[in-house]
Chain A
Amino acid sequence: MAQETFSKEELSRYSRHLIIPEFNIEGQRKLKAAKVLVVGTGGLGAPLLQYLAAAGVGTIGVLDFDIVEDSNLQRQVLFSTNDIGKPKVLAAKERLEGLNPYINIVTHNVHLSSENALDIVKDYDLVADGTDNFPTRYLVNDACVLLGKTNVYASIYRFDGQVSVFNYKNEDGVFGPNYRDLFPSPPPPGLVPSCAEGGVLGVLPGIVGSLQANEVIKVITGVGEPLVGRLFLFDAMNFETRTVKVHRDENNPLNGKNPTITALVDYQEFCGMKQNNEDDIKKISVQEFIELQKSEEPFQLIDVREDFEYEIANIEGLHIPLADVEEEVDQIVSDRKVVIHCKSGGRSKKAIELLEKEFGFSNLYNLTGGVDAYFDVVDAD
């Protein structure tokens, strides 16, 4: 590897690193030479990306497929109000280049999948996982293990945070535990509330993502003891921290005694979640719905329009605006047919996709054409 060199401006910028005896110019060179992929540009990604960029990590990959929304700004301090509506990776790149023009930001405006993960991850030295769902957690882990990359992991839920360094190769070439050693299988969908349902304290990803950035920098520079074979737990509610041990499991299907996973698999399926195509969403026509109303069959009707729309006219559905669906998920039944509608079918489709993906519902029907179509038919009659 060619020795990294620094301009006068860079030396001045990084001077607080350079004067740390354990760190010095060697640590800074390692940072500049490093290529880190940050998966997820959200709550954890915000502090992670900013600290990695500020610290002078030479190449940072930013991977996300979302756009910036107003509800992100409560915790995703990478973005500003002006970024609403922009692809997250582009808003992130702009911000990070403004923070440090001496580094290279590579954007991946994609959904990480079994098809593209190995190809993307292979170009990086290390991955920092800041995603928000179990399928992607296992995907990132497996891609890292298959490619021999370290996975700096952090995860949050409401007031809880977890951090660990997975698949770290020590000086003897031996790999430390990975995510599958800690959690061999994910919870069944709907059993443990997801973060989307439970919410998250805005500052928590800031704390946990900063710890994650710290581990990334330690792994790259070799300074200190990385969090390998250990899981750090933070309870922000009671301010309790614990560090517990994580061991390699000989039954790990990726790199245990008898590995059975040698390529990436279908992680939606592994996590018990079927990937939803539009065609997979069950629909009910207005006529069928009217028949259902007349029948004895019990069902729940949910209206996901906004308050003002509901007030103008409604068909007596339980009113849960789309934005509140995750919060109000407890009100949605799973033991009978649930018909969800909005004005014309678009928002109700989104609600169903979310409920199926995040909470594992399988009893939801989208009213085709929404309440507009319903009133057309009823008024004509």
Chain B
Amino acid sequence: MAKVIIPTPLRKFTDNQASFETNSENVYDAIKALSGAFPDIQKHLFDEQGQIRSFLRIYLGDEDINVLDKEKTSLKAEDVLSIIPAIAGGKN
């Protein structure tokens, strides 16, 4: 099963679960499966048009899916998918 790593800012929508395992065959389905398992996270992952939000980057291993096959990038059992959000803290 492929593993999706959930970033801390989104963990409050996954009962603090840090990762999620899925049999999905591509990136889009894996993110969909995650939001199916935790409905509260859905609006944080997808915009109104159903696209993955642009302040989130999705990485397969250390590679940006945008230089692979984007959301259609296929997943293998051992793959690790990371959702990387923009965070802005640092001063206060």
Residues of chain B in range 47-92 having any CB-CB distance to chain A below 8 Å: 53-55, 57, 59, 62-64, 66-67, 82, 84-92
A182 vs B85: C-alpha distance when bound (angstroms):
10
B17 to chain A, nearest CB (A): 12
Find out whether the CB atom of A244 lies under 8 angstroms from the CB atom of B64.
yes
Report the bound CA distance from A185 to B51 in whole Å: 14
In the complex the two chains form, what is the Cα distance from A233 to B85 in whole Å? 11
User: Known: A131-B91, A194-B88. Is A160-B55 also a contact (CB below 8 A)?
Assistant: no
- Given A185-B54, A243-B62, A247-B67, do A64 and B91 touch, yes or no (CB 8 Å)? yes
When distances are taken between beta carbons in the complex, the residues of chain B under 8 Å from A185 are 54-55
By a CB distance below 8 angstroms, the chain B residues around A134 are: 86, 88
With a cutoff of 8 Å between Cβ atoms, the chain A residues found around residue B90 in the complex are 40, 42-45, 129-132, 154-156, 195, 205, 208-209
Check B8 against A131 for contact (C-beta < 8 Å). Answer: no
Q: Is A329 an interface residue (CB 8 A)?
A: no
**Residues of B in contact with A, size category:** 20 to 34
- Complexed CA–CA distance, A191 and B82 (Å): 19
Q: Is the CB of B62 within 8 A of A131?
A: no
Report chain A residues within 8 Å CB of B87: 155-157, 160, 162, 192, 195
**A42 CA / B54 CA spacing, docked (Å):** 28
The answer to whether A294 has its CB under 8 Å from any CB of chain B is: no
Docked-complex contact A42 and B9, CB < 8 angstroms:
no
The answer to whether A132 and B89 touch across the interface, beta carbons within 8 angstroms, is yes
A180 to chain B, nearest CB (A): 11
A91 to chain B, nearest CB (A): 14
Q: Which of A103-137 contact B (CB under 8 A)?
A: 129-134, 137
Q: Which of A216-224, A234-242, A283-291, A296-304 lies at the interface? A: A234-242
Q: How far is the CA of A243 from the CA of B59 in the complex (A)?
A: 11
Is A246 at the interface (CB under 8 A from chain B)? yes
Given the complex, which residues of A lie within 8 Å of B10, measured CB to CB?
192
Rounded to whole Å, the gap between the CB of A357 and the closest CB of chain B is 12
Any chain B CB within 8 A of the CB of A257?
no
Q: How far is the CB of B69 from chain A (nearest CB, A)?
A: 15
If A45-B91, A157-B87, A196-B92 touch, whether A238 touches B55 (CB-CB below 8 Å) is no
In order of increasing CB-CB distance, the 8 nearest A-B pairs are A195-B89, A42-B91, A132-B91, A157-B87, A40-B91, A44-B90, A187-B55, A183-B86
Residues in chain A within 8 A of chain B (CB atoms)? 40-45, 64, 66, 72, 129-134, 137, 154-160, 162, 182-187, 191-196, 198, 200, 205, 208-209, 231, 233, 235, 237-238, 242-247, 249
Enumerate 16 A-B pairs (CB-CB under 8 Å) in ascending A order: A40-B91, A43-B90, A43-B91, A44-B90, A45-B91, A132-B90, A132-B92, A155-B87, A156-B89, A157-B88, A162-B84, A187-B53, A192-B44, A237-B8, A238-B18, A245-B62
Given A155-B87, A245-B67, output 5 extra A-B contacts at Cβ < 8 Å: A66-B91, A193-B9, A208-B90, A244-B63, A247-B66
